Chain A
Amino acid sequence: GAVVSQHPSRVICKSGTSVKIECRSLDFQATTMFWYRQFPKKSLMLMATSNEGSKATYEQGVEKDKFLINHASLTLSTLTVTSAHPEDSSFYICSASRASGTWDTQYFGPGTRLTVL
């Protein structure tokens, strides 16, 4: 159990376009989902925390107008990279937690590799 999927796994887009990445918890309800970004040969950096039915909380330095997060249901969160530019090319990974107020394991998705030309 506790499987998290992401779609698409890879996406290539032109500069200036928007790209939507989906994160789904397949067999559990995720009260909280997290979005991370990983540049090549680097570590993961938390971008934002998303709670179902409320606005996402963004980490310092992450532009909320550029990275739109929607957590419309307990099994789906989406990250939309708006007006993508080459510097947005990265590996985006989501994770999902069943917890709300108490600690729980985060289950990670397989990641989405975004390449902006």
Chain B
Amino acid sequence: SQQGEEDPQALSIQEGENATMNCSYKTSINNLQWYRQNSGRGLVHLILIRSNEREKHSGRLRVTLDTSKKSSSLLITASRAADTASYFCATDGGGGADGLTFGKGTHLIIQP
């Protein structure tokens, strides 16, 4: 199975700054998604980008996808303290109802 890997593993920035997290994967995908997880909680779906898309926006989030490099980035602009969480990318294995393969995650800390 493919494996997404995020970098950095941990990121600490000041409130108001932009945060960029990267994700790499190993095999072909149909879609790539980003999730947020607050400590000890469930997952919150942030954004999905399809393999034929290169960039997608949602509010303060901007996701890019480079299938030639098998990588994606998540940019959070104008960060807030509430953005403190772990962020995971996840890829699907192909068509149909496949389980997701999650990356290792980036723990983001926004300093007030």
Contacts and interface: CB of A to CB of B under 8 A. Distances in A.
B98 A108 contact: no
A100 B97 contact: yes
Of B1, B30, B43, B97, chain A has the most CB atoms within 10 Å of the CB of B97
B59 interface: no
Summarize B's interface: helix, strand, loop or mixed.
Answer: loop
A54 interface: no
Contacts of A105: 45, 48
B3 to A, nearest CB: 9
Contact of A45 (B35, B48, B102): B102
Interface string A84-104: 000000010101010111111
Given A43-B102, A113-B40, A99 B45 contact: no
Contacts, number: 63
For chain B, give the interface size range: 20 to 34
B48 A102 contact: no
B100 interface: yes
B43 A108 contact: yes
Interface string B92-112: 100111111111110000000
Interface string A6-45: 0000000000000000000000000110101000001111
Interface residues of A, number: 30
Contact of A99 (B35, B43, B48, B97): B97
A103 B42 contact: no
A49 B40 CA distance: 23
Given A44-B102, A59-B1, A103-B31, 15 more contacts: A31-B97, A32-B97, A36-B99, A46-B100, A93-B43, A99-B96, A100-B96, A102-B95, A103-B95, A105-B45, A106-B100, A107-B45, A109-B42, A110-B41, A111-B42
